[in-house]
Amino acid sequence: MNKAKRDVVIAGNWKMNKSPAEAKELITALKPLVADADCKVVICVPYTDLFVAVEETKGTNIKVGAENCHWEKSGAFTGEIAPQWLKEMGVEYCVIGHSERRQYFGETDKTVNLRTKAALEAGLKPIVCVGELKEERLADKTHEVLDTQMAGGFDGITAEQMADIIIAYEPVWAIGTGLTATDEQANEACAYIRSIIAAKYGQAVADAAVIQYGGSMNDANAAGLLAQTDVDGGLIGGASLVADKFAKVVAAAK
Ligand code: PEP
């Protein structure tokens, strides 16, 4: 399957930004700007913005995602949120294993795996983040890191389940830093991830897998990145907080 047959998904990751009132304002501005998008448009927002995001996007082409979920259905896990509750409120996607969660909140490949399986079981589409640190790239260990993260994060996930998963290749050195991977670096890493999927699940599953690039993608660099043969969209942080900038990234996904 060539790229033209895969979904292109542009997803915003708002991180810990926007109050519910600010979320409503941003979504109101965004709706008309992306109404004619040629790709899937997703906004992944803080838990406290989910209600307003689901309400405000009803009847539009914008889908809503959370930024994390727990792997249990309920219990003594203060501060955590169960995936089926997200589903119940109309959330469709869930970012899992973002590097900020790996860096600041003890997320591991094991917990990424547990969260991914729970999200799938609840009927959510996980956006699973993988990517190397700057020192790992400089030490030429990018492939090794991706091998490890993909083996751990996708342990026990079936070929059928792969159809509901998006993978976001996010080199940690490019997230929120203004440093973007070159078009070639992004494509090479996404193609490598596709080869890992092919080795585990077969070529057909790999060819159908949606693999995004994330890391300082914005209105100025999106067209080049999104034109790459193995880059099927983007996970956008900073630029997703400004309606006009995010809409321009969406428009670049032809
Ligand atoms: C992200 O939060 O996943 C991200 C890629 O952030 P930024 O676009 O700001 O680098």
pLDDT in tens, 155-190: 999 999 999 999 999 999 999 898 899 999 999 999
* pLDDT of residue 22 exceeding 90: yes
Query: How many Å lie between the centroid of ligand 1 and the Cα of residue 213?
Result: 10
Indicate the pLDDT class of residue 4, thresholds 50, 70 and 90. confident
End-to-end CA distance of the chain: 18
Residue nearest to atom 4 of ligand 1 (CA): 237
For residue 95, the ligand 1 atom closest to its alpha carbon is 3
Cα distance between residue 69 and residue 128, in whole Å: 12
Domain span at 186: 3-72+79-252
Residue 231 belongs to what H/E stretch?
none
Instruction: Give the CATH number for residue 201.
Output: 3.20.20.70
Find the mean pLDDT for residues 52-74: 98
* 55 is an active site residue: no
Residue nearest to atom 1 of ligand 1 (CA): 237
Two tokens, residue 102:
């790996």
| Ligand 1 pocket test target in 179, 216, 246, 249 with most atoms within 8 Å of CB | 216
Q: Among 98, 100, 132, 136, which one carries the catalytic annotation?
A: 98
Indicate the pLDDT class of residue 234, thresholds 50, 70 and 90. very high
Query: How many Å lie between the centroid of ligand 1 and the Cα of residue 223?
Result: 16
For residue 170, the ligand 1 atom closest to its alpha carbon is 5
Domain total for the chain? 1
Q: For the chain, give the mean pLDDT.
A: 97
* pLDDT of residue 239 exceeding 90: yes
DSSP character string of 150-198: HHHHTTT--HHHHTT-EEEE--GGGSSSS----HHHHHHHHHHHHHHHH
3-state secondary structure of 11: strand
Cα distance between residue 107 and residue 92, in whole Å: 22
Residue pair 42/63 in contact (Cβ under 8 Å)? The answer is: yes
As for ligand 1, residues whose beta carbon falls within 6 Å of it are 13, 15, 98, 170, 175-176, 214-217, 235-239
Residue nearest to atom 7 of ligand 1 (CA): 237
Residue pair 60/100 in contact (Cβ under 8 Å)? The answer is: no
Which residue from 26, 25, 99 is spatially nearest to 68, judged by alpha carbons?
A: 99
C-alpha distances in angstroms, 94 versus 115, 169, 175? 10, 15, 18
Cα distance between residue 217 and residue 203, in whole Å: 28
For residue 129, the ligand 1 atom closest to its alpha carbon is 3
Which residue from 155, 114, 150, 110 is spatially nearest to 129, judged by alpha carbons?
A: 150
* 98 is an active site residue: yes
Query: How many Å lie between the centroid of ligand 1 and the Cα of residue 188?
Result: 19
Tens digits of residue pLDDT in 74-121:
999 999 999 999 999 999 999 999 999 999 999 999 999 999 999 999
